Chains A and B, each alone.
Chain A
Amino acid sequence: MNKLIRAFTKDSALVPLVAIVLGLIVGAIIMLIGGYDPILAYRSLLETVFGNRYDFGETLTAITPILFTGLSVAFAFRTGLFNIGAEGQYIMGMTGATIIGVTVHLPWYIHAPLAVVVGAICGGIWGMIAGYLKAARGVNEVITTIMLNWIALHLANYLVNRFLLEPGKGRSYMVDDSASATIGWLSRFMDDARMHWGMFFALLCVIFFYAFLWRTKQGFELRVVGSNADAAAYAGINVNSGVVKAMFISGALAGLAGVFQVLGVFHNQVIAASHTGHGFDGIAVALLGGNTPLGVLLGAILFGTLSYGAAGMSFGADVPPEIIRIVIGSVIFFVAAPGIIRWLLKRVSGKKRKEEAI
C-alpha cells in the first residue's frame, strides 16, 4: 500500500487527484449549506453525462475546445511563456475559419482543410504578435495577450458585422457545407449530438505536443529557452526567435479550438458581447494537467464533464449550475496550492507509519 502511495506521490499524479476530490467535497459542503442534496446532485451530474448518447456526444463536443486551449496554454508554459491570450487566439481562429467558410466556394476536400489551416494561422499570428513584441521590445506577454484578447473580440465583431452578416440576424452567413467538419454518421449515431472532426484533431495535437517538444530538435530548443533562457543564449540558441515560434504554435493550437467551434458546432459566427471563456478555461486545464500532454487531456475531460453535467445537476437536483464553477474553482485552488495537499498526504501517511511501528 505504501509502495503504491509512494509511486503516486513520486509521479505527483496524486496531487491533482486529491485536488479533484477536495474540490468535490468543497462543492458538497456549499450545497449542504445551501440546503441541497450533494449526493443527488453529483449523481444527476453523472447521469447527465453518461445517461444517453446525445448528452455523451455533447460532452465530448464540450471537451474539445478546452482541450485545444489547454494544450495552447501548456505549450506556451513549457517554453517559459504565460499565454493568457488563448481567448483572443481562439476568436481569431473562429474568424479565419468563418471567412473561408462563408466567402469562398470550393470542393469539400479543399474547402474544409483550407478553412482549418487559415483559422489556425490566424490564431497563430495573433499569438505571434505577442511573441514578437516580447522578443523585439521586451513587452511582457501577459499584458499584450490580455490586450489582444479584447482587440480580437472587437475586431472579429467588426469583421462579421461589416462583411459576413446575414441580414436580420446577429450572426454571419452559415458556412458552406463543403467547409463543414461535422461527422454526419457519428452525429446520427449519437442522436444528433454535434459530433465533428475537431475531437480527433485535438487528440492528434496531444500527440504532436509530446512529439514536438520532446522528440524534435526545435522542440528541444524551445524547452531549453523555456527552462533557462540564459543557458539557451550561452548554448547558441536564438531565444527571441524561439519566443516568436512558440507563441505562433501556441496561438495556432488555440485557433484550432475556434476553427472547430465554427466548422463543427455552430457553422456560423455570432457577434459576441463578451468572451466565451474557452481560452481562460484553457489556463485552468493546463494548470490542472501540470502542462503535460496527457495531463491536459485528463484535465479537459474533467472540465468538460463538470461543465456540461452542471446543467443536468440543476435539472435533477435543483442545484444552481454556478455551484460547479465553485467546484472547478476549488479544484484549481488545490492544484495551485500543492503544499496543502502534500501536507495532508504527509499527515495521512505519517500516521500510518506510526501505526505500523506499533
Chain B
Amino acid sequence: MEQANTVVEMRNITKRFPGIVANDSVNFKLRKGEIHALLGENGAGKSTMMNVLFGLYQPEEGEIFVNGQQVVIDGPNKAIKLGIGMVHQHFKLVHPFTVTENIILGSEPKKWLGLAVDKKMAYEKVGNLSHQYGLNVDPYAKIDEISVGMQQRVEILKTLYRGADILIFDEPTAVLTPQEISELLVIMRNLVNQGKSIILITHKLKEIMAIADSVTIVRRGKVIDSLPVAGTSPNQLAEKMVGREVSLKLDKKDAVLGEPILEVDNLVVKGRQGLNALNGTNFTLRRGEILGIAGVEGNGQSELIEALTGLRPVADGSIKISGEEIAGKKPRQISEAGISLIPEDRHKHGLVLDFPVRENMVLETYYQPQFNKKGFLDFNEIATHAERLVKDFDVRTPSIMTDARALSGGNQQKAIIAREVDKNPDVLIAAQPTRGLDVGAIEFIHKRLVEQRNMGKAVLLVSYELEEILQLSDRIAVIYEGRIVGEVKPSETNDQELGLMMTDYKRPQGGPESE
C-alpha cells in the first residue's frame, strides 16, 4: 500500500569525493503529495543527495527508484524526463529575456517545421500554468523588472513547464522577504494539493514546522532519522541535526547601556545610479547595546555600511565615533578609529579565498609594527597570531596554511569574526553575519556578538532576517528608502509588525527619536 504511493526512493546511495564520503549508504523515500524536508547542516550531504537524484552526480553504490521503476539518472535531462525538477538556490535566468523566453529556453514550442519558435503558444502556455498554480507571474515581464520572489516563481514555472511532478527546492527562502516567504509556502501547498510532490532542502527549522509533512535529517553524510513532522519539535530536530543539544533561544542579560559611541546625523549618500541611497539617516549607537537595522534588501543598508567604513563618499551629514568626525576619512583611518566590519559578502569582501588562512587573519593589520618589520612581513609572527585566533575562535581548518576557499562557510565566517573582534573595536558592524550558515555556526556567532556587547562594545547588526534581528537586538531601527522610519524594542513587536514597517505600511508613533 505504502509502496504504491512512493514516487522516489533512494536505496543505500553512497557517493564519495576524494577524501570524504559525502553520502554514506543513505536511504530516502518521498511519498506522493507530500512536502518532505531534507534537513542538515552545511556540508552534511543533503545537496549531494539531491544532486545525485537530479543526475548531476553519479553514485558509486545504491539504487534509485522513480514511481516504482529502477532508473539510472545519468544527467539532468534524464531527471527532467522522469518528471524531476529542481529550483536552484541561485537562479539561472537570462536577465534581459522575458519570463516566457526564460521558461521555454531549451524546449521551445516550434512552428514552420521547427524553424521558428511559436511564441504565441508559449506565452499562452506559461500564462495558463502560472494561473493554474496561483503563481501570478506576468509572462511578458522581463526578468530585470521583477522582484527576487517573482524570479523564483519563474524557476518554479520552468520545472512545471517541463512536466515535473517531483520538485526539489534548494534553500528557497534564503533570498526572500518575510512576506515573500509566506507567499511561497502557500504556493508550495498549492502544488502538493494538485498532486505534485516536493523535496525541500533547508536548515531552517521554522519552515519545516510550518510546511513540511515529513523530515529526513542528514548529518555527516548519513541519514540520522526520517520522521513525520507532526509529533516532533524544533529542539528535537536541531539536536538530531547537530548531534548535540543546542539552545535555540539565546541567553541574554539585559543591556547595560554606556555612553553614545557612534552618532550618525542626517547622513546623505549617493547610490550606484547617482540617486540618494541614504536620505538623511539618523541614529545613535551606545556602548553595551546591539542595534538591529531591519529592512528589505536594497533600502540603503549596503550604502550605510559602506559609508560608515569609508568605502563610499558621504555627500552630506556627519558620522562621529566618540565625538570624532570620520565622514570622508579613508577606510584604514576609520578602522583605526575603532570600527570593525563583518561584511555582508564574506567571499567578495571579507576574505581573499586564494590566500591561506594565515594571510587572511592579518588582512587589515599586516602593516602594523607587530607584523611589518621595515617593509618585510614577519611570517613567524603572523603565523603565531593566526594560530591563536584559529584556536580561540574554533576555526576548523586543517592548518593555517589551508586556503580560505577550502573552509566551510561557517568556518570562513568564524575566521572573519576572529579577525575583526581581535582588532578590539569600539563599534562592531555585523552585516548579515549568519547568512547561509547552519544552526551550530549561528549559535556560535550570536554568542560572540552578545559577548562583545556584554564587554561594553557597541554592535550594529544589519540583517535581512527578522528572526535574527528580533533575537539579538536590544533596539531595532527600521530602514526604508534610505531613512530610519521607526525604532522599536524587540520585546514590544513581532515579525508581522516589523514586516509592515519595513515596507512602510505602518509607522509607529514618534519616529526615530522616540526613546
Contact = CB atoms under 8 A, between A and B. Distances in A.
Interface of A: 215-218, 220, 223-224, 227-228, 230-238
Contacts of A228: 348, 351-354
B331 A220 contact: no
A224 B372 CA distance: 16
Contacts of B332: 236-237
A228 B348 CA distance: 7
A13 B364 CA distance: 33
Interface residues of B, number: 27
Interface of B: 309-311, 330-332, 335, 341, 343, 348-355, 359, 363-364, 366-367, 372, 375-377, 379
Contacts of B343: 234
B349 A215 contact: no
Contact of A234 (B311, B330, B376, B379): B311
B349 A217 contact: no
A224 B362 CA distance: 11
A88 B363 CA distance: 35
B113 to A, nearest CB: 38
Given A217-B366, A230-B348, 8 more contacts: A217-B367, A220-B359, A224-B355, A227-B352, A228-B348, A231-B349, A235-B364, A236-B330
A234 B351 CA distance: 10
Contacts of A234: 309, 311, 331, 341, 343, 349-350
A236 B364 contact: yes
B348 A216 contact: no
Contact of B375 (A218, A232, A235, A236): A218
A227 to B, nearest CB: 5
A232 to B, nearest CB: 8
Given A230-B349, A234-B309, A224 B363 contact: yes
Given A234-B331, A234-B341, A227 B355 contact: yes
Contacts of B377: 215-217, 220
A261 to B, nearest CB: 32
A189 B134 CA distance: 88
Q: Is the interface of A mostly helix, strand, loop or mixed?
A: helix
Contacts of A237: 332
Contacts of A235: 331, 363-364
Contacts of A215: 376-377, 379
Contact of A231 (B330, B350, B372): B350
A217 B335 CA distance: 18
A265 B367 CA distance: 42
B331 A217 contact: no
B352 A236 contact: no
A128 to B, nearest CB: 21
Contacts of B359: 220
B331 A236 contact: yes
A193 B310 CA distance: 58
8 contacts: A217-B372, A230-B348, A231-B348, A231-B363, A232-B352, A234-B341, A234-B349, A236-B310
A234 B309 CA distance: 8
B483 to A, nearest CB: 25
Most buried by B among A224, A231, A233: A231
Contacts of B351: 228, 231
Contact of A216 (B352, B355, B375): B375
Contacts of B355: 223-224, 227
Contacts of B330: 236, 238
A234 B348 CA distance: 10
B376 A217 contact: yes
A230 B349 CA distance: 5
Contacts of A224: 352, 355, 363
A234 B345 CA distance: 11
Contacts of A236: 310, 330-332, 335, 364
A345 to B, nearest CB: 14
Contacts of B364: 235-236
B375 A220 contact: no
Nearest to B349: A234
A217 B364 CA distance: 12
A230 B376 CA distance: 24
Contacts of A220: 359, 366, 377
Contacts of A238: 330
A18 B46 CA distance: 38
Contacts of B331: 233-236
Nearest to B331: A236
